[in-house]
Amino acid sequence: MVTAGTKKPQVSVPTPPPPPWKINLQKYAESRALELHSLQSIIENRVNSDYRSQKNKRRRTTVFDNQIARKGCRRKRQKLGIIDKALAKSGLEENHQKKLPRCVHRRYELKKNPENGFCTSGDVTKRLRTHVWHAKWFAMTKLWGYHLPLCLQ
Amino acid sequence: MGTEFETIEARITSMLPQLQSECGILQRMVYKNKNQHRRSSYFQRLLKVRRDLRLLQSANMEELVSSCLLVIKGDRPKQKLHLLGSLKRRKCDGDKHNFMERLLGAARLLAEMVEPILKAASEVSVLFAQSFFMGFSVTIMALLARLRVLVQQILLDVVSLFNMVSSLSISKQSIKITHNGIEVFRDFYPVSDDFVTLECVWKSDKFILLERKHKTNDESHVEDSGGNVSVQTSDVNYNSIESFLGDDQLFHERVEADVVAKEDPNHIDDMNTDLLTGSSQIDDKETRYSDQDTTKAFINESSQEAGLPASSRSSTNDKLQSCPKKVAFVSIKNLTLMRHKS
């Protein structure tokens, strides 16, 4: 008399469709306008209309950017050129390090001029303020304790 | 009552796929923007929202809701009996939880999901105020707004479904099962345990879930079991043997029944309960779900009277051969009435 019972159907959950690859932002927001307005009113009540970010939650946002750090190093090098001893040290360091491009090198040489007076070279002869330019266009000679351009006339 | 649960069914079956699609979009947004935003506090809030949604997906809401609707509707009586029987199992028996406990856990999760959504939205609104990452912040705000509404509405529907099913599981009921032309009535007796009722209260900006425990009265349980017998006899319409068969053996049975009726007027109830054991023998699988106490009572009564179940078995065999669609019960009140008339 006992008959076999029917198998109970298992509840199978269908696989959800994959999320859309692109979202039209305006349509997406407009279709949820009512929910957005109610959410906005709730948040406004919570925050008391104060939307400033808290200072303890601010983070440094330029840690990943390495260029600024390198610029800081460059600025430090420029300060070394004022004193004669520092000049010699920087010269030695430049020889050991990779060579700078020539235009950059001449720019540094030009910036090394003092505001007043003369700059002395290695063998204690004085240089004019325009020494860098003249050295580029003229033959230089040492007369009367100065490093002077030589004119052919 | 009927229209109410139909409305809830239509609403919740339309909302669960929407929730799944919004969850997919959120996971996609998190995946795409993780490298750029991962240290910021608003993104940490978003990750918490995603975690809660994944938990909700693992709870498998569609299955739980369909189980509740089966119990409330009753259109599949065997599954309804199975589900109501599973509720009688002791809570956390072994590793399996019954569907009501899983539904309660899902309701608790839904109630707790709203707060991280609101916090994430308030953090993202700071981005809005600064007009940083406008595309990202507009999408996330729209997404969180829809999620908040969906989560709270699903919570309300789940709570009302839970209350309906718990009220059904408390009350006793008889369920009709038709299988291959045979109709069988199964009785469900509730366990006298504490039951839980859920309630949602709106506080400032969200719903808070309240759980209340109730106790069933033992006295009312005894009264219900007493009243059940009378209700049961009135519900089922029995047919007499004479309408089916005209054999000589029945005359002999008539004489025996007449003698027994003269001796004990209370014996008629015992005969009815004796026939119920015959019905339980026909379908052995359903006997698992019945009460142990009632089966013990049936066994004791059947052991006291050895001759009668044999006659009932033979009569059921004869009936099935002649008319397969008829009910497999015979009441003795009709016999006595027929005899008095003749």
pLDDT tens sequence across B231-287: 444 444 555 555 444 444 444 444 444 444 444 444 444 444 444 444 444 444 443
Residue A130 inside a domain? The answer is yes
User: Based on the number of CB atoms within 10 Å of its own CB, is B227 exposed (0-12), middle (13-18) or buried (19 or more)?
Assistant: exposed
> pLDDT-based confidence at A38, cuts 50/70/90?
very high
**Residue at token pair 């089916």:** B244
Q: Of B326 and A54, which is predicted with more confidence?
A: A54
A29: nearest CA partner in chain B: B142
| pLDDT at res. B338 | 55
| pLDDT at res. B72 | 85
| pLDDT at res. A121 | 80
A59 to chain B: which residues are within 8 Å by CB? 39-40
| pLDDT at res. B322 | 43
Beta bridge partners, B159, equal: none
Lowest mean pLDDT among A30-39, A103-112, B133-142, B204-213: A103-112
CA A27 to chain centre: 38
Average pLDDT, integer, range B106-110: 93
What's the domain count of chain A? 1
Residue B181 has pLDDT above 70, yes or no: yes
Residue A11 inside a domain? The answer is no
Distance from C-alpha of A24 to C-alpha of A22, rounded to nearest angstrom? 7
Average pLDDT, integer, range A58-84: 58
Let me know: does B64 contact B103? Beta carbons within 8 Å: yes
Distance from C-alpha of B25 to C-alpha of B318, rounded to nearest angstrom? 66
Average pLDDT, integer, range B167-190: 77
Of B145, B205, B283, the CB nearest to A45: B205
Taking the Cβ of residue B324 and every Cβ of chain A, the question of whether any pair is shorter than 8 Å is answered with: no
**Residue at token pair 């369909």:** B66
> pLDDT-based confidence at B223, cuts 50/70/90?
very low
pLDDT digits (tens, 9 = 90+) for B49-60: 999 999 999 988
Region for residue B326 given its phi and psi (left: phi exceeds 0; alpha: psi -120 to 50; beta: otherwise): beta
| pLDDT at res. B313 | 43
Average pLDDT, integer, range A62-79: 60
Lowest mean pLDDT among B32-46, B135-149, B195-209, B304-318: B304-318
Residue B27 to chain A, least CA–CA distance (Å): 9
> pLDDT-based confidence at B147, cuts 50/70/90?
very high
A42 to chain B: which residues are within 8 Å by CB? 118, 205
**Residue at token pair 């010699």:** A88
Lowest mean pLDDT among A26-30, B69-73, B93-97, B104-108: B93-97
Q: Which of B54, B126, B319 to mutate to test the interface with A (most CBs of A within 10 A)?
A: B126
Lowest mean pLDDT among A82-96, B208-222, B257-271: B257-271
Taking the Cβ of residue B125 and every Cβ of chain A, the question of whether any pair is shorter than 8 Å is answered with: yes
Of B121, B135, B204, the CB nearest to A25: B135
Quick one: DSSP state of residue B206?
Answer: E
| pLDDT at res. B114 | 93
Residue B221 has pLDDT above 50, yes or no: no
Residue B175 to chain A, least CA–CA distance (Å): 17
Let me know: does B233 contact B324? Beta carbons within 8 Å: no
Taking the Cβ of residue A65 and every Cβ of chain B, the question of whether any pair is shorter than 8 Å is answered with: no
Residue A106 inside a domain? The answer is yes
| pLDDT at res. B79 | 81
Region for residue B180 given its phi and psi (left: phi exceeds 0; alpha: psi -120 to 50; beta: otherwise): left
Taking the Cβ of residue A3 and every Cβ of chain B, the question of whether any pair is shorter than 8 Å is answered with: yes
CA distances (Å), B121 to each of A68, B116, B125, B152, in order? 34, 8, 6, 16
| pLDDT at res. B108 | 93
> pLDDT-based confidence at A130, cuts 50/70/90?
confident
Of B27, B126, B145, the CB nearest to A32: B145
> pLDDT-based confidence at B156, cuts 50/70/90?
very high
A1 to chain B: which residues are within 8 Å by CB? 281-282
| pLDDT at res. B49 | 95
Cβ partners under 8 Å of residue B184, min gap 6 = B176, B177, B178, B279, B282, B283, B286, B328
Residue B331 to chain A, least CA–CA distance (Å): 21
Q: Which of B42, B144, B313 to mutate to test the interface with A (most CBs of A within 10 A)?
A: B144
> pLDDT-based confidence at B184, cuts 50/70/90?
confident
Residue A3 inside a domain? The answer is no
Distance from C-alpha of B25 to C-alpha of B148, rounded to nearest angstrom? 15
Residue A71 to chain B, least CA–CA distance (Å): 24
Query: Sign (positive/negative) of CA torsion B51, B52, B55, B57?
Result: negative
Average pLDDT, chain A: 73
Residue A1 inside a domain? The answer is no
Taking the Cβ of residue A69 and every Cβ of chain B, the question of whether any pair is shorter than 8 Å is answered with: no
Residue A93 inside a domain? The answer is yes
Cβ partners under 8 Å of residue B231, min gap 6 = none
Average pLDDT, integer, range B194-205: 82
Inter-chain residue contact A16 with B20, CB threshold 8 Å: yes
| % of residues, chain B, pLDDT over 90 | 27
Residue A20 inside a domain? The answer is no
Inter-chain residue contact A35 with B41, CB threshold 8 Å: no
Lowest mean pLDDT among A13-27, A68-82, B49-63, B165-179: A68-82
Query: Residue A140: which domain range?
Result: 25-149
| % of residues, chain B, pLDDT over 70 | 59
Residue A13 inside a domain? The answer is no
Residue ranges of the domains in chain B? Answer: 1-215
